[in-house]
Chains A and B, each alone.
Chain A
């Protein structure tokens, strides 16, 4: 028997690789479904309402998308790392209330309140992560516990310090103007003021994407979420990665809470509760797998954008806003199904 040696194949061209077209390359990106969804939602409202595409309309739907997007990015990182944080919503409230209570009741400058809020949220994030890592219990349960505890603390402590269920008077604290410039000012483009949080959102999304795709830490996030034992066995500091992710989510909650406090200058004790699920919805629409190890920060931001457009678009079309959650739920199901179909197609055709 004789065999002829195959000519040495150059690494550049392999006969087993059908040249992967641009389309297919795009298809394996987790954010594709969300991108298509965002375009469809935009088109849906744009053709029916001219206000929707006017500068003021755009500013209006970018606003809810921005604060949600900042949270969704952090939650997406955490989900890629294989965990949930049900306390993320109430933690924005904790942050906002802390700003109010510390700076008003203790008569400090607002910046002291903002720093104390950062310390508290980071501590909660650390505790969430530490308990998850130490006990090995599902983060769903651990953070459900911290969610309920924070909900109680938010109410109880607010009542204790202010005697009411809201912390107000933030607008007259020392240093408010500088805090407002950072967290709640507006930037005027084409005669239309846009909230500065939109800029923060874009920066945060870019940073999260860079970290996820271009750094060692990003590699560890994917690995820890994909298979924690395997990643630990090859030397990934899985516990540190997980704790860092919980603290990142907490830091995002701090930021969004401060934005809220500075904008409103008076914070209700129940603010933020219920938002944790919306963050997860945005991340899942953005292509994050519930099982971890796959997803994207850009996708989560697109999910937040879909949310913002739908919320405001419904108002512009004069639909009853009660329908909003129905839309959101339908979009979630649709996104999960499309993402799954796309992934199957893309993987089968690689």
Chain B
């Protein structure tokens, strides 16, 4: 771990573990999220990536180990507490309410208000205006902010969730496979967002199955396998090919390529 600065990392995990009943989903994970750095979490399906970020975002409480925010131990009892600490998350399932309008989803849980006392109300005009602007900045031109989220395309829905997290993430931005449903252009926008957030001094945690997305923006790479950490690498310690083979299991990929090749017709 590079201890270049005296300031503690934004988030630090020490030997974090999480059980679900008898299932040990995570065990002995130690890493850190620093300001101005992108930490990529890599691993197979079921490796525990989502569980790890749910510990960071307050959805799950760790069964073991310690979570430190700015060097002091914290315990997020609920996602609200993590949000209040400036940690915003794009969950893999996006955490959106299908029957509700885009603008209502965008500000859900953090609604702007106007008026005072018993007349305090949801500032719908600001919410709609902001939603449209933030989505437009992502290259998503919503037809109508009143459209229910359930009627959006998969990629549009993902974009709304990302725009929301970027808008509310003050210190740490966590993205769980945010590009899985996106086209090349929108995925590029998301990567650019990640880089911008990093440059603004946010700590970013980025989960993806795509090495072409992970390598260009990642500063650190945490590799998970079956709930355990296989290592925590700085960018200078690995190459893209190594990342690729770690993510996919290089041997398996070679084998697959071989398998998928057309059998060469026998020479006449």
Interface residues of A (CB under 8 A from B): 9, 11, 14, 16-17, 20, 210, 214-216, 218-220, 222-223, 226-227, 229-237, 293-294, 347, 350
Contact = CB atoms under 8 A, between A and B. Distances in A.
B111 to A, nearest CB: 4
B96 A222 contact: no
13 contacts: A9-B141, A14-B144, A216-B113, A222-B100, A223-B97, A227-B96, A227-B97, A230-B97, A233-B79, A234-B95, A235-B80, A237-B80, A293-B97
A109 B224 CA distance: 70
Nearest to A16: B143
A214 B59 CA distance: 28
A350 B147 contact: yes
A293 B99 CA distance: 7
A350 B79 contact: no
A235 B165 CA distance: 12
Contacts of B93: 230
Contacts of A231: 95, 97, 108-109
Contacts of B89: 233
Contacts of A11: 132, 136, 141
Given A227-B97, A350-B148, 11 more contacts: A20-B144, A219-B111, A223-B109, A230-B95, A233-B59, A233-B91, A234-B108, A235-B79, A235-B80, A235-B110, A236-B108
A11 B99 CA distance: 23
B143 A222 contact: no
A16 B153 CA distance: 14
Interface in B30-89: 57, 59, 78-80, 83, 89
A342 to B, nearest CB: 14
Contacts of A215: 120-122
Contacts of A226: 97-100
B151 interface: yes
Contacts of A214: 121-122, 124
B108 A219 contact: yes
Interface of B: 57, 59, 78-80, 83, 89, 91, 93-100, 104, 107-111, 113, 120-122, 124, 132, 136, 141, 143-144, 147-148, 151, 164
A218 B141 CA distance: 27
- State the 3 A-B residue pairs at the shortest beta-carbon distance, nearest first: A235-B109, A226-B97, A230-B95
B143 A14 contact: yes
Residue of A230, A233, A350 most packed against chain B (CB within 10 A): A233
Contacts of A233: 57, 59, 79, 89, 91, 95
B137 to A, nearest CB: 12
B108 A223 contact: yes
Contacts of B57: 233
B94 to A, nearest CB: 8
Nearest to B84: A235
A215 B109 CA distance: 12
Given A234-B79, A350-B151, A222 B141 contact: no
Nearest to A11: B132
Nearest to B142: A14
Contacts of B144: 14, 17, 20, 350
Nearest to B144: A17
A219 B80 contact: no
A14 B79 contact: no
A23 to B, nearest CB: 16
A99 B144 CA distance: 51
A294 B101 CA distance: 12
A9 B96 CA distance: 27
Contact of A347 (B91, B136, B148): B148
A229 B113 CA distance: 24
Nearest to B97: A226
A210 B100 CA distance: 17
Contacts of B164: 234
A229 B124 CA distance: 24
Contacts of A218: 122
Nearest to A210: B121
Contacts of B141: 9, 11, 14
